[in-house]
Chains A and B, each alone.
Chain A
Amino acid sequence: MFKVTFQVQGGNTVEAFANEGEKILQIAQRSNVAIDAPCSGNGSCGKCRVKLLSGELDSKQTRHITDEEYAEGWRLACCSTVVGDVTLEVPDIASAYRSRMKVADLSSGEEVQIFENSRKQVIDAGIEQKNNMEVLDVVMNVPSLEDTMPDNERLMRAVSRETGIAHVTIPYSVMVKLARVLRDSQFHVKCVVRKISSDVFIYDIFPSTEQVVIGGLAVDIGTTTVSAILVNMVTGEIIGKASSGNGQIRYGADVINRIIEASRPGGRKRLQDAVVKETINPLVAEMCKASGFKANHIYRMSVASNTTMNHLLMGVYADPIRMEPYIPTFYKTNSLFASDIGICIHPDAHIIVSPNIGSYVGGDITAGAFISMIWNRPETSLFIDLGTNGELVLGNSDFLISCACSAGPAFEGGDISCGMRATDGAIEACTIDFETMEPSFSIIGDPGTKPVGLCGSGLIDVIAELYINGIINSKGKFIRDGRRIKHDKYGMGSYVLAFEEDAGSVRDVEITEVDIDNFIRAKGAIFSAVRTMLNYLDYTVDMIDDVYVAGGIGSGINMRNAVNIGMLPDIPQDKFHYIGNSSLTGAYMELLSTSAEKKVYEVASNMTYLELSTVPTYMDEFVASCFLPHTDTRLFPSVTVKND
C-alpha cells in the first residue's frame, strides 16, 4: 500500500491509501476529493489536471498537457497510476464543476420578468393560480379545569370547524412544539395547512402575531446545471433564485456515464449525495441566506428533470434506463417527501415530480412543453430545449410529438476548453470584425469584468462570426491567418478571444478546432432531430408558425447566428422566441397552481414519443448537419459568407 496525499488548493488535505497501479482519479473519487472528469476518465477531455508535488506517478503525457506543463508537474489524474507514495496538488479549478454558485440579483427585474410573463400566459389560458396550501387563522378556547381536552384534539377540532373537513393530521414535527406555541399565543395561532377534500394536513404552527409566508421551492435539475427558485406559494412572488453546476458532473458528463457510475457499489448513494447534499441543499441555503428566509418554512418542492436525473435524485436503481428495452422505474410518482431523500427543507414537504414520458424524455420537457403553451394554440409550433439532451416537441392543440437527441454538454459550456456556464466572466455575445478579425464582447457581470470563458450563447456567436467572416471553413477549420489565430505543434488551430493580459484567467481564452468540432456536433444533433421529426410527419419548415427555444444558455440567443451556423431552421427571425429556462418556469407554475400540475400530466399523457434511433435516416441527417451551416446549403438560403 502507498500513501496518496491530495492537497486541495485553498482547501483541506486528504490522505488516501492505494495499491500500485490504481488510477489517481479513482482514488480521488473514492476519497471524496473533487476532481472534474466530465469524460469519465478516458483521457479525452483533459480537465482532471493535478500537479505532482513529490513522489512519482506512472503517467502518460497527452495532448492536453504541453511539454512545459509536464515539466512543471501537471498530470491528468485519469492517465496516472500509483507507483509509490505521492503528494499531489488538486487545483481549485478541478472543483470548477461547482462553478461558483450563482445567486441571482433579482433587482434587475429581467430574470423575474420571464416568470411573470409565463404566469400571466398560464392564467390567460384559463388555468387558475391556486394551490391547496394556505395559512389558517385559528382561535381556540383556552383550556381550564373544566375544559381539559388535550392540545392536539383542541387544534384538530378548531381546524375542522374552520375548514369543514373532518379529518385533520398533525405530524410529529408540529406535535413537539404544539404546547409551547399554543400557550405563547393564548391559543390564537396561524397554521400552515394543506387542504384536500378528505384531509387537512398541518405542516406548521405559529403564534397569530407572526407574519407567515408559505415557501415553495422549484428546481430544474439538468444533467449539467441545476437552477432553483424560492417562491411565496400564495402570491407567486419570487424570493430567491440561484444556480450551480450539477455536483454529479465529476462522475461523467452525460446520463449514460452517470447511470454506469450509479451501478457501481455505493454508486447510487454517491450520485444522490452529489445532487442533494452538494448541489440542491447548498443552493437552498444560499437563497435563504440572501433573502433571510428559513429553509424549514419551505413546505413544498417541485422538480423538473430528465428521467435519469429524477431517478438518481431519488436514489432509484437506474440501470434499466440505459439497457434495452429501456424501462425506467417510474414515469410518475406522487409520494415523495423531502425527508425521504434528505432535502433540507420542511421534512414533510411534498415533492412534485414532473412526469416523464420515456426513458429519454423526462419531466423537464413535459414542464417545458407546458410552459411553451404550444398545446394551447391551433397553429403548429416547435419547442426546442437546448440542454445536454436536446429535446423537441412539435404540435398544436390537436397533437404533440416529442423526441430527444444527445447534444452533449456543449450548450452549457461542457466539453469546450474555454466553456463555462452563464455566470460572471462568461462571454455571452460576440461580434468579430471582418477586416481586423478583432472581437468585441458582452460579458456577464459588473462592468469591467474580464472574460473568463464562453457560455452557450457566446459560443453560438463566436462560431457564427468566425464562419461568416471566412475565418473558419464549413468544417470548422481555420483558413485565415492573423495575430489571433494560433496553431499548436499538432497543427490544431485556435482563435484567441482574449490574450492572457486581458483575460480574467491565467491563460489565453481561446477556442480551438476541437471545441468547434464538439459544438458543430451538438448543433448537428439538434438540427438533424428537427429535420428528422419534420420529415417523419411530412412537414416542411415553412409549416411551422413559431419556434420556442428554451435552455439556460445565457440571457438570450442571437437567433440570426443560430441560423447562420445551421442550428435552427432558416425561417424569418420574428418566428423565434427565446423563453429562458422553461423547465424551471414549468416547475414554478406546478408549485403555484394545482391545475397547472394537472395540466402538465395531461400534456404528458397526450404526447407521442418518437425514438430517433429507430428512424433509419437520422444518422444521415446528423452527418449532413455536422457542417456549417449544412451540407445542403439550399436549406439555408439566407446564410452568406463574407469575402473580399
Chain B
Amino acid sequence: MPFNRKAHKFSASIGTVEIGTGDKAIKLGGENVMPFYTFDGSMGDGPKVGVEITDLGLDAEPQGVKDYYAGCTSFADIAKKAEAMPGGDFVVLRLAGGDPNGANKSTEELVAIAKEVSDAISCPLVVEGSKNVEKDAELLPKVAQALEGKNVLLMSAKEENYKAIGAAAALAYNQKVGAESAVDINLAKQLNVVMTQLGVSAQSIVMNTGSAAAGYGFDYTISTFDRVRAAALGQDDKMLQMPIITPVASETWSVKESTAEESDAPEFWGPVEERGIAMEVETAVACLVSASDAVILKHPKSVATISEFIKSLM
C-alpha cells in the first residue's frame, strides 16, 4: 500500500507581531502548523534569533563573547557589533544593572544606555528589564518613552506590573510588550486577558511563558509550550495565539555546566566555554522545536549554529 501523507492542518494560526522599523523590521509568529511542520502548512517568516548584550559591559562574559566584541569602547560600539553578528535577526539589551539588589543603576542612566544602543543600530531592538517588578514598572515605561517611534519590544510585563508597563509601552508609546508568566498555561492566558482588557491589542503582545536551562526544570517549560500551542492552534484560543519569545542565554550561562572551571568539573566534561555553548544551543533547539518564535542568545557560535539550524529546517 502506498504511503499517503496526511497534512495536519489547523484552521487557526499564531498572530503576527512586527518589531523594528524599515527594511530590517521582523515579523514574529504567523505560523499555522506545529513547529517546523513546513510540509503541513506555513511557518510564517520562521523563528528569529536575538543577540543579547547588557548594560553591565563585557567583563563577566565568556572569552568567546569578549573576543567577538574586542575593541568596542562604548555601548554604541557593542550594539553595532551585535547587530552585525552573523545569524542574528535583532538585538536584545538586557538592563540587568537596574536590579535594586544588584548594581542598582538609576533609571536615567539605563534609559540613556537604551537610547545610545537604539540610535546605533537599524535592526529591531528588544529591551529587557531588571527582573525586579517595581523597578521595571518605573524603568520600562521610561524606556518606551525614550525610544518612541522605534517599535521596540519591552520585556516583561508580569501580573504585578502589567498595568504600568502595558499602558506605557503599548498604549502611550505604541511599542510592543512582552507578557511574562511562570510556566502555567492558565497564568499565561490570564495575563493576556487582563492586558487586552487594559486596551493593549493582541497584535502588540509577545509571550514569554517561562524559560529555564535544559535540565533545570526544563520539562515544565516545554510542557507549557506544548499545551499553549495545542490550545492556540487546536482550539483556536485567541488569548493564547501570541507568538512566544524565550530568553535562553540569561538562563543557560549561569548554571554549573556552563560555569564550572575544568579543574572543578569531572574530567570528561571538557573545556568550560564549549560546555556553555552546548547548553545554550541545546536549550535553544528544544525551545524552537516546541514553540518558541524567537530565542535570545549571546555567544557568536550559538547564534551561528541556531540560525543555521532554523534555515535547514525551513
A binds B: yes
Main secondary structure on B side of the interface with A: helix
Asked if B186 contacts A474 (CB within 8 A), the reply is no
Q: Of the 9-residue stretches B58-66, B190-198, B275-283, which lies at the interface with chain A?
A: B190-198
Binds B, one of A240-248, A586-594, A620-628: A620-628
Let me know if B184 is at the binding interface, CB within 8 A: yes
Cβ B185 vs Cβ A473 within 8 A: no
Task: Tell me the interface secondary structure of chain A in the complex.
Answer: loop
B190 touches A475 (CB 8 A): yes
Nearest B residue to A627 via CB reads: B190
Given A627-B190, A631-B189: A474 and B184 interface contact (C-beta under 8 Å): no
Report yes or no: A631 in contact with B193, Cβ–Cβ below 8 A.
yes
Bound complex: CA A624 to CA B239 (Å) = 13
Cβ contact within 8 Å between A473 and B197: yes
Q: How far is the CA of A479 from the CA of B195 in the complex (A)?
A: 12
Contacts of B70 in A (CB 8 A): none
CA distance A474 to B187 in the complex (A): 12
B157 CB to nearest A CB, Å? 13
User: CB within 8 Å of A: which of B229-260?
Assistant: 237, 239
- Are A475 and B159 touching (Cβ within 8 A)? yes
Contacting A475 at CB < 8 Å: which of B184, B194, B237, B239? B194
B161 to chain A, nearest CB (A): 11
In the complex, are the beta carbons of A474 and B193 less than 8 A apart? yes
* Chain B interface residue number, banded: 10 to 19
Give the residues in chain A near B194, CB-CB below 8 Å. Answer: 473-475
Complex CA distance for A624 and B193, rounded to whole angstroms: 12
Given A473-B197, A475-B159, verify A620-B190 contact (CB < 8 Å).
Answer: no
Contact between B185 and A474, CB atoms less than 8 A apart: no
Nearest residue (CB) in A for B236 is A634
- B193:A620 contact, CB within 8 angstroms: no
Task: Give the distance in Å from the alpha carbon of A627 to the alpha carbon of B193 in the complex.
Answer: 10
Chain B residue with Cβ nearest A470: B197
Contacts of A479 in B (CB 8 A): 197
Residues on B with C-beta less than 8 A from A631 are 186, 189-190, 193, 239
Q: Is the CB of A620 within 8 A of B186?
A: yes
Report Cα–Cα, A479/B199, bound state, in Å: 12
- Which chain A residues lie closer than 8 Å to B197 at the CB level? 473-474, 479
Which of B159, B187, B237, B239 contacts A623, CB < 8 Å? B187
**Which chain B residues border A620 with CB–CB below 8 Å?**
185-186
* Chain B residue contacts of A474, Cβ below 8 A: 190, 193-194, 197
Q: Would A624 and B186 count as touching, CB distance under 8 A? A: yes
Whole-angstrom distance between the Cβ of A514 and the nearest chain B Cβ: 15
Complex: how many Å from CA A615 to CA B143? 46
B189 — which chain A residues lie within 8 A by C-beta?
624, 631
Chain A residues within an 8 Å CB radius of B185: 620
**A633 contact set on B, CB distance < 8 A:** 193
* Chain B residues whose CB sits within 8 angstroms of the CB of A623 once the complex forms: 184, 186-187
Chain B hits for A624, CB < 8 A: 186, 189
Minimum distance in angstroms from A636 CB to a CB of chain B: 13
Minimal Cβ-Cβ distance residue in A for B187: A623
Q: Which of B115-161 contact A (CB under 8 A)?
A: 159
Give A524 Cβ to nearest chain B Cβ, in Å. Answer: 10
Within 8 A of B (CB), among A543-564: none
Q: What are the residues of chain B within 8 A of A475 when measuring CB–CB? A: 159, 190, 194
Q: Which residue of A lies closest to B191 (CB)?
A: A475
Interface string of A608-633 (1 = CB under 8 A from B): 00000000000010011011000111
A403 to chain B, nearest CB (A): 21
A sample of 21 inter-chain contacts (CB < 8 A) reads A473-B194, A474-B190, A474-B193, A474-B194, A474-B197, A475-B190, A475-B194, A479-B197, A620-B186, A623-B186, A624-B186, A624-B189, A626-B186, A627-B186, A627-B190, A627-B193, A631-B189, A631-B190, A631-B193, A631-B239, A632-B237
5 tightest Cβ-Cβ pairs between the two chains A and B: A623-B186, A624-B186, A631-B186, A631-B189, A627-B190
Interface residues, chain B, CB within 8 Å of chain A? 159, 184-187, 189-190, 193-194, 197, 237, 239
Seed contacts A473-B197, A620-B186; 8 additional CB < 8 Å A-B pairs:
A474-B190, A475-B190, A620-B185, A623-B184, A623-B187, A626-B186, A627-B193, A632-B237
